[in-house]
Structure 1
């Protein structure tokens, strides 16, 4: 594995960082203070991102994306991750890769409009009673002739308020396994405005202001067979095939924010004077900087190794879980220590540190909690011993 960046990769990093600093940073204060991302601002930045070739860059080249390999894609995600989450996710959208699993007709209706910036998607798995335990979902879809009838509730559904459609996972039966019965899951496309599909405001979140969540309710929502994504009862297979790298995406965006926070801490330690010298000269500060840099490097190496393995076809669940776990926990540590180095100023909203600190909290919960990641890592180790 070569840790150096190719000329193309360096160009993507430089282009993305320049875009983030020029087009996203100036609007962070507005989004943070209002908790709202204006649609006119979204459209303005979206047009610039499309012109710069940064929009939907996660998609393959043959469908209109940038065709980046996983390593390069995560370098791009890391740079975007430096900014307010709502700004970079909404204005420089990366449609869900699961859309690639659609039929040619579904691609025309859902995938390509998302790539062109005409539509947004949202993914609906989580339920009030089933978070990490997706097999415990109660929302269901029952066959009725050639149609399916959907009933149930999903919550914590990110940016569903602006999404034109949802990709919804529903229980469609049970199967017997050596460990007892397990739900069969099917994925469906559900257009906003479909009778029986209602959306209401979600919860106010301490992390990622401007990036909304919603509650999705299904009451005898009738869908045709053509709304199934993939095969009936094969929703987990579709998810596992197309959503595998989302943990690495989380890791990469966390690295970007952690690097930004560390930069503020180093600059402050080199400039701030107390007791007649720069505070970076005190071991209490200098050792913090050393630990922050070391842990950040470890998280980046884990993430880049997993990305490299992903492209080689050798990545394991444990590789991706280690990267996600380490990067999210390092972000929390770096953000906290950066504030400590700044003292009281670190908690003021003149700087982005208090936002990065708040935003870090959700990263250890979504896309699989830290406990779930540790379970995956340890399970892989024990299975190798037959346990």
Structure 2
């Protein structure tokens, strides 16, 4: 069993780390204070990331992407995760679900996203259907060669940047041994389409500059050519995407963990109280030990899941354990980092209060910690008849 990084992996880490430090860190204060990512700054970051081969690195080379494997993508996202979310997400990773595009859809949606000419966003969550996506009420009813869509989506990230939406809507019901179950279909819907409105979402504590939005569909008519994948089989497309996205959240969380721990180590050595470095006190040094242990354990779970994904052997439980461990490690490490720094930890002069604020949402989106525990326990108990 080899835990070492290849030369290629090390190059990815070094390139991404340098990019983050030189191209993203200098603008963190601006974005945090203004809660805005200027379009010209976003364009600057995008151009630089394309030049370095970091943009759309998750997409296959034959489609024009970077062609990085899952382990490499997790290493890249770990480094990008060190910076403010609005800044690091400008280095777009188009949704893997777009690989389901066929025919003209590829020219209109897939390839422009890979080239950095368009941005996608995913619309699944609803006010009455969060983790229980099968209960979504947004529906698409067939009318001749079209579908007429009605409903509301919310908590839709970066819909302001997006040119189009990957929308999931109910298109009927089917009987199952556990009762009626909604059939789900995914659609590609352009912003500006008649009957489709994007509204400002909710103000929140996490990820300044990276906003959520409310999407309203009122008799929005889209042709059947906008179906992504197969009608009534939207979850077949989504399931492949969800595992990779949970790994992305986990990897981004690891980046913040590393930054908070590094900041804490430097502070523990530099800060003096009662005539000595505070690292000499067990109250501080033991915190650092626990932070390192939690981070290392989470990192191993994330990288193992990424390796399994690359081998085609990753199960739902692997991605769930990776996300759960990384996001909960982030919550612990961010809190302990602030405790080590005392009052300074809560000041905006340091990145810790931002990391602490941003950490909270990671245990909620892309499946709450409770959902991840459900996935893990279900995987353990089902083979035993439980």
* TM score, norm. by length of structure 2: 0.99
Offset of residue 2 of structure 1? 2.0
Per the alignment, residue 370 of structure 1 pairs with 369
Number of the residue aligned with 1:41: 41
Computed over aligned residues only, the root mean square deviation of the Cα atoms, in angstroms, reads 0.7
Residue aligning to 1:218: 217
**Equivalent-residue separation in structure 2 for 1:243 and 1:194 (angstroms):** 27
Residues 98, 243 of structure 1: 8 Å contact kept:
no
Deviation at 1:104, TM superposition (A): 2.6
Three-state SS of the structure 1 residue aligned to 2:183 is strand
Q: Match of 2:89, SS?
A: helix
Deviation at 1:220, TM superposition (A): 0.4
| CA offsets 1:247-303 (integer angstroms, 9 cap, x no match) | 111000000010000000000001111011100000000000000000000000000
Once the 2 structures are TM-superposed, how far is the Cα of residue 245 of structure 1 from its aligned partner?
1.0
Encode CA deviations 1:329-375: one digit per residue, 9 max, x unaligned.
Answer: 00010000000000000000000000000000000000000000000
2:313, 2:80 → 1: CA distance? 27
Distance in structure 1 (CA, Å) of the matches to 2:293 and 2:208: 29
Alpha-carbon shift at residue 162 of structure 1 (Å)? 1.6
**Runs of 4+, deviation exceeding 3 Å:** none
Residue of structure 2 equivalent to 1:207: 206
Work out whether residues 141 and 171 of structure 2, in 8 Å CA contact, stay in contact via their aligned partners in 1: yes
Provide the residue aligned with 2:14 in structure 1. Answer: 14
Tell me how far apart the structure 2 counterparts of residues 263 and 133 of structure 1 sit (CA, whole Å).
Answer: 38
Cα deviation for residue 314 of structure 1 reads: 1.3
Task: Quote the Cα distance in structure 1 between the aligned partners of 2:145 and 2:48.
Answer: 44
Counterpart residue number, 2:141: 142
Further displaced range: 25-34 or 46-55: 46-55
3-state SS, counterpart of residue 157 of structure 1: strand
- For 1:99, the equivalent position in structure 2 comes to 98
Q: Could you tell me which residue of structure 1 aligns to residue 259 of structure 2? A: 260
Question: By how many angstroms is 1:157 displaced?
Answer: 0.3
Measured against aligned partners, the alpha-carbon deviations of 1:222-253 in whole angstroms (never above 9, x if no partner) come to 01110000000000011012332111110000
2:283 maps to 1:284: yes
d(CA) in 1 for partners of 2:11, 2:299: 19
Distance across 2 between alignment mates of 1:240 and 1:138:
20
Q: 1:107 Cα deviation (Å)?
A: 1.1
Quote the residue 2:237 is aligned against. Answer: 238
**2:77 aligns to what SS in structure 1?**
helix
Unaligned runs of 5+ in 2: none
Please state whether the residue corresponding to 2:232 is helix, strand or coil.
Answer: coil
Contact conserved, 2:195 with 2:217, CA < 8 A, in 1? yes
Report 1:256-335 matches (<5 A).
Answer: 256-335=255-334
Q: How far 1:115 sits from its partner (Å)?
A: 1.0
Aligned twin of 1:358: 357
Name the SS of the counterpart of 2:187 in structure 1: strand
**1:64, CA displacement in angstroms?**
1.0
Give the C-alpha shift of residue 65 in structure 1. 1.0
- Whether contact under 8 Å (1:123, 1:166) holds in the other structure is yes
What SS is found at the alignment partner of 1:156? strand
Match in the other structure for 1:55: 55
Q: How far apart are the structure 1 equivalents of 2:348 and 2:2?
A: 39
Q: How does 1:328-347 map to 2 (within 5 A)?
A: 328-347=327-346
Cα distance, 1:161 vs structure 2: 1.1
Q: Is the 8 A contact 2:242 2:366 kept in 1?
A: no
TM-score, normalised with respect to structure 1 = 0.99
Deviation digits for residues 287-322 of structure 1 (CA, Å, limit 9, x no counterpart): 000000000000000001111111111111111100
- Secondary structure of the equivalent of 1:245? helix
Corresponding residue number in structure 1 for 2:250: 251
